[in-house]
Structure formats: structure tokens, C-alpha cells
Structure 1
């Protein structure tokens, strides 16, 4: 039998010279065709005119014709609708079917010449459809003699077949046998569990089918685990107890604690959430194979401790009207309770849960880090506190105006201190207390001056003194009426907009600003008097005024307000054609 690469072109020699008639394929001699398509076995010849060409299908003549003859080719009657001969002797198949698979030989002869020939191999394929993958037996069992896969298709022949296991191509060998449509596994094991695939291909299509196989085995020795893996668990933790054994079908698991059954998942897992110390003890798992009813039992011991609740907290507080200090360390609860101590204050003193100590020499402790150590069976931790006297600070002024035009000024004095400083308030050297006019916040850090009047004695010197057992700091603030400390103006490049900016003294009482302008109004009428064109809240420090006429002159100024009281105006600024914005002279 000839191979696919055979190309039979016979050149014959007559004694003393070469035969003129020759034939050769004009394409590969192995030809693939799809069912229903047209395909040509193409040849060419030379050396003689009008040779007789004969095509043979599997050795039987199917077409005979003399090239360039006017008579019709002689085509076998059962192939006349399919086979056609071209002018050069090539053979064309119309709407080729699977039945035309085979070997085709073309012969050319000329009276007085020696016969020449060429051979083609035609492979006709259909589209591969509906690949199915089957097994024998239905289930694979570890240690069985063989386990076999075999495939089938609804239509379509294959040229190549590949078998895969978990994406890896399988080859013939002592373990896997590939024969025809079958893949056989000899003595399968649990490692053969996975996804198998068969891939069928021909030049015009391919088909793939997958089959997941689980090899039955076991049960093996059970494995008992706790997750997370800890020697001791903390009250409130969550943990999982798992009990499993290698085997298929999977063995079922039941759990018990102190002789009582406890719920478990179908996979043999017990979920213990928010565990308590009462849940310490021995847990028992029983594994049962549902088919063999074989049982295996195993125990695991769980220890549950309790960490003290919350975080360890350190603090220091003033005693005896700011004459002494008490250091506290708090961490209540726990099994067992945590041991608390201040090693820097006393080597021998300690306590449990809530511990405090009052040292004698407190001034030497200012700025020193005082550490509380907490020792528990599960954890050791510490916290610290740094006692210090008040540090320098500056009062901060806030001004609010109510809907009924009542002005409230807030003086805020806040300093860093540990323990927190108590603020004492004075006005012009006289102590202030809560009342309808003056109100002091609960933490003493803020003084509220109600119904503030800048034209009265409310503009005065206010003093706040911060005091704790480690020292004191005093700061004075003189409240001022509405003022502008600095201002400026910037004219835009197109001279149609100005930007006013201003600042005020930090202790000036401000509730708003009147932005005033002198010059043409928006409709073009000129005005010789300043008029308020905008009212700004007390916290603003800039505004833009647009819509200016570039060829007109304007004057601008800012008037600070405190309630109904008007403060001193700002510098007046002039904008005129041909010059930059400047101060008005």
C-alpha cells in the first residue's frame, strides 16, 4: 500500500532518448474535502497532444476521455452526477460525499508512446457532531482490573484522537491503553480522580467531550483537626472542629461533648462561635462509612480561657483640689484575672482588674512615662500615661450672631495637660461664674459671653488660667471692636473685575463686612457717594466684584461690623482708566 506522500510520476525512457509524454500533479497528492463541497484532483501533462486520460477509483476505471476531443467523457453511470473531467485531464468532484474516500490513479497514453500515471489520495470528512463519552463500568473502583472510556459521535469521521487527564495529554503505556475509540486504565487508583477529555479532529472540524470521574476508595485513617490551631482558645473566639477520613463515599461524622450530641455539618465540621469557658473539655467524633458501616472514633480536648473585657486603660486624675495625683490601670474580668502593676511607682504593689496607686512625690513625675503592666494567662500587655502640667496656649475667639441679632462671643482656652487642666476665668482681674451673661462650658475650656455689645464694657481683658496638680498656665486676651488690620486690591487684566482681600486682628469681634463702592452702577449711572454693594459674613476674607466698565473710575472700601456696631473702614482703593488699582489719596 502506498503512503500519503507517494507521488507516482512515471517517466519512461526509450532506448537512446527520453519519452516525450509526461504527467504531474499540480497540487499535493493528499487531498482533504468537506462533504458537499467541490474538489479537484489537478494534473498537468506535456510532451504529447490529445493523450487518452483514464481515472481509476480504487483500481476501477470511472472516467475515460481523450483530451481536447469534442466527444463527452465516458463517466461510469453511477458517478456521472459527481465526477467531471477538466480540459487538462484533472478530475473534479461536485457535491462530494463520504463514499468517495479512496485512492485515485490517473493514466495518460498516446499511440506510439508509453503510458504514464499519477496517484492521489482523497479524504472526505463530515463535520464532527455530538461527541459522547461513556465508561465501563459506570463507576471506577480503586484496585479494579480495568476501567474503560469509549466515545461515540452522531456524525463525522476523525483523523486524530487525543485523550487528556486534568489537561495533560495521555500516551499509550503500561498504565493507559489507547485503542480505537477506547481509553483503558489498568488498576485505577484514587489519583485517577479528575477530569478526562477526548478531543476528535479532522481538517474541517473538531469535537471535545469531558467526563469527571471519581474513583471510589477507603475509608482510611481519620484525621481530627481544630482550626485555628491553638493550645488555648479565648472566650468569644470562634473555632471549627473537623473530623474526616479519606474514603468514598465520604464517611459521615457525628460529634458529642460531655455525653451529649452536638450539631455538625454534613462534612463533619462543628462550628463553635463565641465560646465560653464552660465549653472546655473533651469532644468525641465518630466516623461511619455509609456503605460498609465501619466506625472509627477519635477525641480532641479544647481549652477555653477568657481575656479581660475591653482594652487595658491607663489614666491619671487629680486629687485633693489639684494637690495630688492618682494613677489608675483598669482591665476587668478574665479567667484568670490579669495582674496589674505600676513598676515605676512601686515594685511591690499590684492588683487585679482595677488597680490604682497614689504616689507622694508627684512633681518629679512631670513629663515621665508611667507604665502599667498587665499579665494574663493568654496575653501580656501594657499601657502608659505621661503626667504633665499645662503648656502655653493662645485663646481662640469665635463670634456668632443669632436670628434675633443677638451676638455671642466664645473665648476658647485649650491646653495640653495630664490630668486635664481646669480653667478659671476672669474679666479685668475679677472671677467669672455661670450666669445669664457669662456661661462656662462643662469642661471649663470655653467662656460664652451672651448679648455681646462692643460699645459697652464687654470689650475688656479676659484671663483664663489652666491648673492641674503639676502646674498652671495663664493667658490674657483683649477683645477689640470691629477692625480691619490689613487690606489689598487686585485689578484683572481686562479691567472688568477686582479682588478685595483683607484681614482682622485675631481678637477683633466681627459679625460681618459691608463691601462698598463709589462709581457707575450696573445700568451706567454715575454715583458720587459710597454705597454697600455686598454684605459678607464675618468669617470671609476676600470677595470678587465683576462687571466693571474698563473706562470708568471706581472707589472701593470694606466696613467691618459687630452686630449693629460699625467699625473703622478700611483703606479706600481707586480704580481708574490707564492705571493700576491704588489707594485713594
Structure 2
């Protein structure tokens, strides 16, 4: 059967109650009606006829309780009860104590007919409360938690009869809702650990009365926050338009975005007069400053704060601006038609300096542009100007390397000299010839004064040379002395015998014994040679001889 106003859950429960065993429901119950506390309900007497003379309503067993309401009564005991259509009982402002078994009894011509029914009264839920702890509420009522915490979710329904059914529904932004738990009872609790951004969204708790189908809902938006994993990072740079200083502070990796603030001597820069522009996009805050009050060594500090509140010692970074410093080679040389590279290096600059090259000192604003014979390459803080096909009249002179940032300007000069190329082949040939001549002269001198280094010393001399070498053999000398003594003993009166170990005269070598007459000839020969070569000893010619004995009876 279908009762108007009944929910599917109430019908199911009514079907179950219809089959309640004795003791839980009255025997012979023909109908189950569900009403809500505080509302009105009408109990229809189904068996009553229009000709019935008397209709009585009983709250309980008719044999044990008096009538609750009768058509014969002038005034009912409770004004909440009234009779409708002479047979139906209307109850206003229904209460929990009105729940129970009701019997309608009709009396017609001394014949009684009864209709039994059961009234169930449902109450609530009147209030549902959602709690998320630990959490903090924003001004708009949204709760946020730290994702590293353990978070407890609880939902409680009050003034509910019978106990309600509790269910949790989670909905991420832009997605469909999803039910993830359902329990019976007036409260429910669950816990989440290590929350991520996927668990950020709306948490809705619904308490539903199983009899009436009435429900109450409470929802709370939950945000999962986490701080940046590192400390703020800041630096200085030059604005793309104009020579103005930009201070950049970045602190990424957190949710929500942190609050970043640039300060100078503990004063907020954003409110100062020399700040041209201040922009903040998410995790980065940029302030553009006029360069009129900048100077070398000035410091700025960036202070970052997050809603979760980190330690102040980890939330700052400092920038110190510096004027550029340059290093270069002041003197460079290039040969006509050759290539030369002029190098300029920035050793110190914050923000990084813009490097440019100038050629004409009378017009310093004219910069050298890459192209043609000029090639400009900059790698980091080093700039190289390459000049190809050097020309004496065009390229020789001074060059200016200029480094500029919003803090200041520095310039250095490079002097380039262009020379005519030298005949390298001729110079190398002359050097080689001189080296060869020197080697030949030294070799000739060594071989002349030390002929033993050669296979035969006479190859470097003329065959008419009068140099005499005496070769002495110590063992042969002793043997010849003994033979000479024996010869002197055998012929003491005839002649004097002389021994010559070795005589070298020119290319002739003689060895043996000579007599006195031979010695006299040798003596006369020596005298003649002395007369012809009186200066032989002065020429330092080697003359070695060994003569044993006397010549001419000496």
C-alpha cells in the first residue's frame, strides 16, 4: 500500500513493522502510519460506514483502556484530538507519546466493527554539527589544516527518534560529490593522516531519520595548507625598459602563497617615494626602484611569512647591490690582414652589468655592432670583440669596454696596434743557415786539434807535415833495454848502438836498431830540419821521441 507523504525508507520500515512479532505490535494491526513530531496527522477509520451511530477511538487495547475520543463526547479530554468526517481521528502537534496502537470501533445497530492501525512518530534530526580538529577558521568560516597533522572529523545529530543514519559526502572543486562512509547512530567519527591537495574540498555530513526520511545536512569546506620547503630566495636585476633596478623575491613550494615584503633599513619599501612599481604574482614579489638613490654596497632585505607561521630566522634573504668592476688587457697587437680578440671581463656587479664596446672616443655613444669584420660574443660576465682582417688605418687606436647597471658605470680602455707582417720564412731560413755554419766551424776546430777522433788524423793534414809521434810500449821497452845491454857487452869497441822505439815522420813509420853511423845521419838530419823549421816549437806541433843511449860517443 502507498501512503501519501511516505518516503521509501518509511515504507520499507513500515513493511517490516507490519510483521512485528507479538509484544512489539498489536495483534491484528491492519495499517501502519508514520507521523512527524510537531506536525498534524489524521487516522482514518476504514471500516466505518456513513450510517454509523457511534465511533470510538482507543489508544491501546479496547478491552483494557478507555476510549481516547468518542463521537458521543461533547468535549474531548485533549483539544489536540478531533473527529473528521464523523469517523477519522485528527491529531495536531503530534508528540512522541502519541506513538502506539490505535483502534477504531464502530457501533451500528448493536453491531460493532473494528479497524486497527499503528502510529509511529518520528522526531528529528533537528540539528547536525560537523567538527574538524585540529583546524583553524578563516574569516569566511572555511577551515584549514596543516597537511602534516592528523585530522579528526566528527558529525553529531541531536533530537532524533529513532536513531538516524549518518553519511559523509566529499566533493572536490569542480567534481561530482562522492559518498565515502555511512553508519547508523547519532554520531560518527573518522580520521585522516598525511592529507594532500586531493583531500581538499567540501565535507558534508547528512543525518537521515529512517521513519520519516527527514534529513539534516551540515557542510564545511576544508583547505589543506603547507609551508614552502625552503627559505626565500632574492636577487637584483635590471628592468627590461629603462635603466632601473628590480628587486625580486621568490618563495615557491607552499600553499597558499606566502606574503613577501621588501624592506630597507627595516622600513617597508612599497610605501616609499622612490618605488616606481610593485607587483606580486603568486610566489614572487617584484619591486622596481628609481636608480637616483642607489649606491654601491646598499642592502635590501626580503621578509616572507606564511599563514602556518614558520620561524622568523628562516624567512629572510638579503641583496647587496654593487657597481661593475672590469678587467681587460690594455695592450693588444694585430698584423695587417690578421685577426685579434679583445677581451673584457666583469669581476663584480649586482645586478649583472650590460657590456658594450665603443670605437671612437670622440663619439662614445656609438657602440660597435656585430656584423661585417666585427664579431661580438658574451658568455656570462666575459665579452669578446673579434676583429677580422685588421687594417692599419681603420682598426688601430683605442677601444672602450663599458659595463653599466642601475648602480653605476665603469669603462676600461684597450689600445690596439696594427703592424705589417714579418717574412717568417726568410727569418727562419737565415737562422737555420747561421746555426749550420756555427756547427761546421765548431766541428772543424774540434777535429783539427783532436785528430784521434777521426779514423786517421792525417786526413785533415797535408802529407808534408813534419809532426812526429813516438809510440811507447812499456813492456817492449824493458825487453829492448835488456837486448841493448847484451849487444854492448858483445861489441863494446866498434860502435854505439841506439834504440828507437817509434819514429813517425809524415806518413812513414820506422822501428828497430841503428848504428853510430846511422845515428850521425839522423843527427845531421835533425839539425837540418831544425834550421829549416826554426819556429816549429812555437807552432805547438807535437814532437815526441824517445832516445836511449848516447850519439857520437857521448
In the superposition, the TM-score normalised over structure 1's length comes to 0.30
Give the structure with the higher percent helix. 2
In the superposition, the TM-score normalised over structure 2's length comes to 0.31
Give the structure with the higher percent strand. 1
* Bigger Cα Rg: 2
Higher relative CO (Cα under 8 Å, sequence separation at least 6) belongs to 2
